A and B are shown apart, each in its own frame.
Chain A
């Protein structure tokens, strides 16, 4: 019930291409879905987040698509750049949990080739 499943585990994209990472959750109490970007040796940094009252959120080249009925959400990176090469984590939290306790997916290692 608490799991967030993420795929693919790794992804290689050419510069200028679209990177797509998918996540699925089971717990319908989850109502906040952030994506984090992590570079080697660094801590995770919030990239973009969505709540289930909208189906899509876009910030620059990054878009979250959310499908509440399927309990799935995805990250799309448009015009992918070598500097986007990092590990991406989806996460979820639920309203009745105090604070910012997050349940993370297993991560996707993205490589963007020049």
Chain B
């Protein structure tokens, strides 16, 4: 049973370009969470999605960031017009149900570098 798969593992973008980060949850998991980890800091919650629905996006920046989890295919975190401050590791986690305090399994992350 493969774990949470994120790709790419490393992504380099020039300022102003778009970054698309993909996350395939564990088999049987229908809930996806995105977290951002800045250098030397802890993980910060960004967004929680179920299939075709955004449940909680309270941690998402108001501009340039969007997320989706379509009926078919991986969850996508999209960052438009990237700036240097977007450089970070972005982690996806998935869980089998949306009940409170259900363990979430993390992927290995996508490390975004904006040059």
Contact = CB atoms under 8 A, between A and B. Distances in A.
Given A44-B91, A89-B42, A98 B4 contact: no
A43 B42 contact: no
Contact of A100 (B33, B41, B42, B43): B33
Contacts of B105: 46
Contacts, number: 76
Interface of A, secondary structure class, is: loop
Which of the four size classes fits the interface of chain B?
20 to 34
Given A107-B41, A107-B42, A100 B91 contact: no
Given A44-B106, A99-B55, A100-B48, 14 more contacts: A6-B42, A31-B101, A89-B42, A89-B43, A95-B100, A95-B101, A98-B48, A99-B31, A99-B33, A100-B33, A100-B101, A101-B45, A104-B42, A105-B42
Interface of B: 4, 31, 33, 35, 41-45, 48, 55-56, 91, 93, 95, 98-109
